[in-house]
Amino acid sequence: MLERAATVDAAKPRDAAAGIERVEVAAVNLPARRSQYQKHEKVYPKLAHGTFRRIKWLALSGMLAIYYAAPWLRWDRGPGFPDQAILVDFPARRFYFFFIEIWPQQVYLLTGLLIVAALVLFLITSLAGRVWCGYACPQTVWTDLFIAVERLIEGDRAARIRLDQGALTAVKVAKKAAKHATWIAIAIATGGAWVFYFADAPTLARELAAIEAPTVAYLFVGVFAAATYLLGGFAREQICTYMCPWPRIQAALQDEHSLIVTYRTDRGEPRGPLRKGESWEGRGHCIDCNNCVAVCPAGIDIRDGHQLQCISCALCIDACNAVMSKIGLPRGLIAYDTLENEVRRAHAEPARYRWLRPRTVLYAGLIATVGVAMLAALLLQSDLDLTVERDRNPVYVLLSDGTIRNGYTLKAINKTYATRTLTLALDGPPGARVAIVGGESREPATFTVEPDKLRSIRVYVSAPAGVLTRDATPIRFTASDAAGAATVASAVQGPKR
Amino acid sequence: MTAERDPQTGIETTGHSWDGIKELNNPLPRWWLWVLWVTVIWAIGYWIAMPTWPTITGFTGGLLGYSQRAVVADELEAAKAVHAPLNARILATPLDRVRTDPELLSFALAGGRSAFLVNCAQCHGTGAAGGKGFPNLNDDDWLWGGTLADIEHAIRFGVRSGHAEAREGDMPAFVKDQLLSEAEAWQIVYYVLDLAVGAPKRDSPAAQLFADNCAACHGADGKGDAKLGAPNLTDAIWLFGGDRNAIYASVAQSRRGVMPGWQSRLDEATIKKLAVYIHALGGGR
């Protein structure tokens, strides 16, 4: 392909229409052209201009800004607690997100969040196809960023091809060096931003710079930097074509009513360069200028139809619309459309769009249900939690006066940022008494729990001889203070009856 | 030499031919080949750096001198070094003061539990609940007393262990040694059963038999004596069982449980930690 492009480049370019240069480009990522055994053919995406390119720039800058800046946001939680708004604190086993603090046992909230995210992805995919792939996937975003850097330093498509094919000059070396240096800088910043989510960002930044940070921090920066550099700089569309399961999965989420990027065959064919003075009668609107192929970062030709390699980035729409505007034809030869409408247009029926379909209604309903359940779980959570583990070895202890004693480990979680002194009360068989082993006070049984901490206490429940009439008698522990109470059920066991 | 090409596919052949069938030369993808060579280089490096090849008397040690045994030994040493200052403090602190120092207490409880599981659990059970003939250490009934010092003494010297300082309870085997007849022994058994539920027949011949033969150690009221290791016969706890046959066996043949002394097997700090741990199981006095 490169050889062909070179020979054509040397000759005078053939125009596709007056003022529209025909791009000599082949869809290198076509299944027919791909082989495990041949060398990968590099894609040189040309810069597109238009609505979708602008949307992509906005999405890219917005998401990258959030990614790089979020760890630096501060949120005051009082003395002794991290003031980072978003922090995954592995050593202390806490996840902080602004006013939300999640303990490991609340990981179901994260599960719920992932379920909602998956369902939203399902809904969007069934409505508008691979929006995720085209605009939001990190692979797409960073590849786009890396291509932008490449374009800035080496020039657009034609200049890049020329540079790659040209002799090794000082200019080439300088440009390549500048490009790779910028890529590596971005890659390191990417890995660097990642580790800031797991430690206090300003502290870690200082430590990283002073070579005092923990080895694991450098390791993660290195792994993420290497992955970003390789995936954004070199692997690019191959990740989507070969490695990613999502293109395969999304086939099951889309149907004939989902939006996809399509080429309107009924309007475009038969295609061919428009000769001077040629009329549009009896021919299609596609002037075969190949701009849609040239801008494609996946290296495909959208005119071959819907295909797995297409990430629905819509840059071919921008490229084609620009050409259509220039030659005075209506835009939308390549556009978001549905498979159903392709068929309807072929039968000269009007296009129609069905947003409300059983699957979209189902997805929306599930999102609402899970979302409400999650919100309820988050808002109704108590700031005091009590769990109990009854001793199983020994199950019970017979004391010399015939009293049956059971041992328990009670765990009280104080989720407030203040120390709490809790009174432990027992609701059990008559005469049964509760005592905290080494408690602050025996009567009433009280214990304190430090702010944002779990306290584990040993507790004995003693039932006088003859009180227990069953193998296991249900009991309830209640830990309370003025601000609230938590109750947990257990049992007191005695000899088999 | 130009390789022959297969006319159907245009792919080079290897030149090999079997019955007219030729093999196409589809080489491995490059990255795959590289991975192979990287693993080969890694393997050679591993042979040089790490212990790999067996020799007749041992094995090649490798340049890095890595040894999992050495790692374990180092970790044990490191753990000992971490525990050393605390062990020194345990040694220097009287037992009752260990209980009131939160740091020492938590160290003693953890260390005591490990030592208990290794050395004591075989007889007393992992939960220290004991069994027939092996005292439950969770309850408040102590044959030889339940203070920290009593417990430490028992751990150190044992019971009937043969050590000069060991506890030596000596209940006669009344029937076996023909001190009492079987009928008299049974009378005592029924008297003791009544004693246990708090309704002894005071003026019976059995009461006289008890007073003559048992009260010297167990006391006139049957409440026992920890100095002699004589159990309290009025409480709910029976080390060898509380039914009449078990009690008769005790009276007729005596009971001589043995606990080894641990002074020669465990270090001082471990013995102290064990004492604190057992005392804290719920019955310590």
* Same domain, residue pair B229 and B264: no
Q: ∠A481-A484-A486 over CA atoms, to 5°?
A: 95
- The ipTM is 0.80
* Same domain, residue pair B203 and B159: no
Q: How does the average pLDDT of chain B come out, rounded?
A: 91
Give the span between the Cα atoms of A2 and B115, in whole angstroms: 75
Arithmetic mean of pLDDT, B200-220: 92
CATH code for the domain in which residue B131 is found: 1.10.760.10
Coil, helix or strand for A448?
strand
**Domain span including residue B119:** 80-165+260-279
B111 token code pair: 């260390």
Q: Is residue B27 part of a domain?
A: yes
Is domain A384-493 in CATH 2.70.70.10, yes or no? no
Contacts of A437 in chain B (CB under 8 A): 280, 282
Give me the number of domains chain B comprises.
3
A3 token code pair: 């050889």
* Same domain, residue pair B149 and B270: yes
* Same domain, residue pair B89 and B63: no
Contacts of A397 in chain B (CB under 8 A): 129, 136, 138-139, 282-283
Local confidence band at B230 (pLDDT 50, 70, 90 cut-offs): very high
Query: What are the 10-residue block averages of pLDDT along chain A, 497 residues in total?
Result: 42 65 81 66 91 95 94 89 92 89 87 93 92 93 95 92 90 94 94 92 92 91 94 91 88 89 89 83 89 93 89 93 91 92 87 90 95 90 91 91 93 91 92 81 81 90 90 93 93 88
Give the span between the Cα atoms of B276 and B96, in whole angstroms: 8
Residue B231, pLDDT above cutoff 90: yes
**Nearest-CA distance A438 → chain B (Å):** 10
* Same domain, residue pair B23 and B145: no
B245-255 pLDDT tens trace: 999 999 999 99
Residue in B31, B32, B104, B139 to test binding to A, most A beta-carbons within 10 Å? B139
| Listed residues B13, B34, B68: the one ending a domain | B68
* Same domain, residue pair B156 and B96: yes
Task: Give the model's pLDDT for residue B2.
Answer: 63
**What are the beta bridge partners of residue A481?**
A484
* Same domain, residue pair B269 and B136: yes
A329 token code pair: 């034809």
B65-83 pLDDT tens trace: 899 999 999 999 999 999 9
**Nearest-CA distance B26 → chain A (Å):** 7
For residue B265, count CB atoms less than 10 angstroms from its CB and return exposed for 0-12, middle for 13-18, buried for 19 or more.
Answer: exposed
Please check whether residue A106 is in contact with residue A97, taking contact to mean a CB–CB distance below 8 angstroms. no
| Listed residues B14, B45, B68: the one ending a domain | B68
Task: Give the model's pLDDT for residue A37.
Answer: 60
Q: Is residue B240 part of a domain?
A: yes
Q: Give, in order, the Cα–Cα distances in Å from A248 to each of A30, A240, A251, A310.
A: 16, 10, 6, 12
Give the span between the Cα atoms of B93 and B115, in whole angstroms: 19
Q: Is residue B175 part of a domain?
A: no
Residue A452: name the closest of A406, A391, A394, A385 by CA.
Answer: A385
Under an 8 A CB cutoff, do B140 and A391 touch? Answer: no
Q: Is residue B161 part of a domain?
A: yes
Q: HEC profile for chain B?
A: CCCCECCCCCCEEEEEEECCEEEECCCCCHHHHHHHHHHHHHHHHHHHHCCCCECCCCECCCCCCCCHHHHHHHHHHHHHHHHHHHHHHHHHCCHHHHHHCHHHHHHHHHHHHHHHHHHCHHHHCCCCCCECCECCCCCCCCCCCCCHHHHHHHHHHCECCCCCCCECCCCCCCCCCCCCCHHHHHHHHHHHHHHHCCCCCCCCHHHHHHHHHCHHHHCCCCCCECCCCECCCCCCCCCCCCCHHHHHHHHHHCCCCCECCCCCCCCHHHHHHHHHHHHCCCCCC
Q: Domain boundaries in chain A?
A: 2-12+26-253, 384-493
* Same domain, residue pair B32 and B47: yes
Q: Is residue B171 part of a domain?
A: no
* Same domain, residue pair B187 and B216: yes
Residue A121 host element (H or E): helix A107-128
* Same domain, residue pair B197 and B247: yes
Task: Give the model's pLDDT for residue B123.
Answer: 95
Is the Cβ of B126 closer than 8 Å to some Cβ of chain A?
Answer: yes
Q: What is the largest CA-CA distance in chain B?
A: 124
B186-198 pLDDT tens trace: 999 999 999 988 8
